[in-house]
Structure 1
Amino acid sequence: MAFTDDGFRAKISSLNESQDSIAGVGAWILFHRRFADRIAQLWMQRVKESTPSKKLTLIYLANEIVQQSRNRKKEEFLKAFDPIIAEATTAAYKGTSSDAQNKMRRVIDVWRQRSVFRQNIQEDIEKGINEIDRARSGRKPALGGSLFASSAVPPELAPVAPTATALQKADSLAKPAITTATQEYEKLTSPAYAIPSPPMHAAGLAALVKKIATAEGATAGVIKARKELIAGLEAILHANKTKLATEEAQLSAFAARKDAIEKRKGEVENAILKGLSPEETNKISAIPLPISDHAVGSSWNAQDGPERPDIEELTPPPMESFTPVGSPQ
């Protein structure tokens, strides 16, 4: 079936968010790759005209097209989308719901991670999204290459922010070199490879050695940056484990204090019910509580002073609690 503008519009009108629908329309579009430039323009026009809910589906369709093109090494659509993808993505992102925007961000993150578009194109895409986020009060930019790209980095994570950014940059720079070296290696070592004349073959092998060496150096750079980030994260983890131990001790101390106070409350209430005099009741209240204040940061601890003499327990014999059974504590 020949490609026509109306045929494309009909396909887009039938498009929904299901994977089957996106894959089906994507396959039809890929079949007509000779019209890639026209398809890209019609797609962008439809993005600008569509409702917010439809815009997310169109982004999913674009993702299907460009990723399939990249996997099949058919560059027609990648070249066609290069000039328009940043503008179209910004248009799709603007005015949609937070849920749809989060889903779009995940798609854009995948494009960055897989180097689907050239780096300058990817940066333009992220710049447009971030500008919309900045214009919205209380919204932090969600894109820019790193979890720590925002200026509002929590103080605990500030020490690893530079290493996280360095890792992202190293990883982004390494991916093209790794992809090129891998593809060339597979090509020259394939059983189907037609070996040229010895001089040409030697030249090809020499070029491959350089590409592998470049990929090797890039990979080593990524490993170094990742180790530095891990070391920083481990230091943060150790510090937080230490704080956690202190906080857990505080939690236990507060629980012990609460239990002791509740017990004392019951003793005082029992004394009141029993009709003891204020003096006798005060003697009960004056008995030191059997808990330590160390865990909650107090500067005094009963254990730090001289050992107290044993005294006779003044608490009256147990009787029914003042608080009725089933009442809130």
Structure 2
Amino acid sequence: MKPTLTNDIQLSKYNPLPRILSFDDFDEGAHGWCELVGNHNGDLNELQPVFSDMRPPQLSTCTFFDLGTHGSMNGTYSLKLATRPRQFHQAVGIKRLTSPTNGRGQVETWFTYKAEQTFGPNASEIRAWDGNYHPSEAQFGSFTIWNDICEGPEPGQRYMCALRYENTNEAGDFTQRWMYKTALHPTTRMLQGGTPSTQNDVHVARTDQWEPVPGGNQQLCFNEVPTKVNWHYLRWQFDLASRQNIELQVNDLTLDLAGVPVLPTDEGYWGISRLLNFCFDVRTTSNVRNFLYLDSVLISVDW
């Protein structure tokens, strides 16, 4: 039985599972979404380089130089993730929970994405402005929705599901497709054990460890200039019992993810039993700041 949503404008734009675990309306605050910081022993110099500067999420009014304050989809504030103006920099927002049981989980949001407005000639332009296409679209890299799950301390009980929208690849060329990762996230423990890492992507040790989701090509609504904001619907469902992705819907595209592999860790992890973390991140492939905005986030389960 689904929750009654018809009389609540904020909730009626979503399609949750039977129990709403968390509804994060960012007009009311950050709701526990914070910066991802890597493991250390009190010395911040011990942080992995890729984890050392992930930037905290911030509440944003979507204010731009030309149109002023845009606001969120329903209200004034959205949650904003912002990279540095440095190629391959990544900003991550995380919400930390635990799960009392296994079952299906679902994350929904209305989001938009932008590259920062720049002025003057830019070497990363793939083609010039023509009154419709704007070069800043090619300055946006990717954003990812993912989780971090740990059932207990035994080997093989920790895993992560991650789905990335890649707008441009490492070379800055348009790809505009959904991707899944084919290798494990290199944890601090793995790195201390000798696992090599290029340290320019929090998800994988090498950036070639991503593969396209079958049928996942999708052009989103960038809308011509870097200061026009159009909100997109996203719904992602996964199953804790079977340790797999189930489905991803982004506007009119729905992808069956049952065949997308999810890799467990080989070693056990202490002190994180029943871990249930949710994350969004944005990553730039240019020397231009990239932004991901979330109007609100709804997390629901079938427990």
TM-score (norm. length: structure 1): 0.20
| Structure whose alpha-carbon radius of gyration is higher | 1
**Larger relative contact order (Cα-Cα within 8 Å, sequence gap ≥ 6):** 2
Considering fraction of residues, name the structure with more helix.
Answer: 1
TM-score (norm. length: structure 2): 0.22
Considering fraction of residues, name the structure with more strand.
Answer: 2
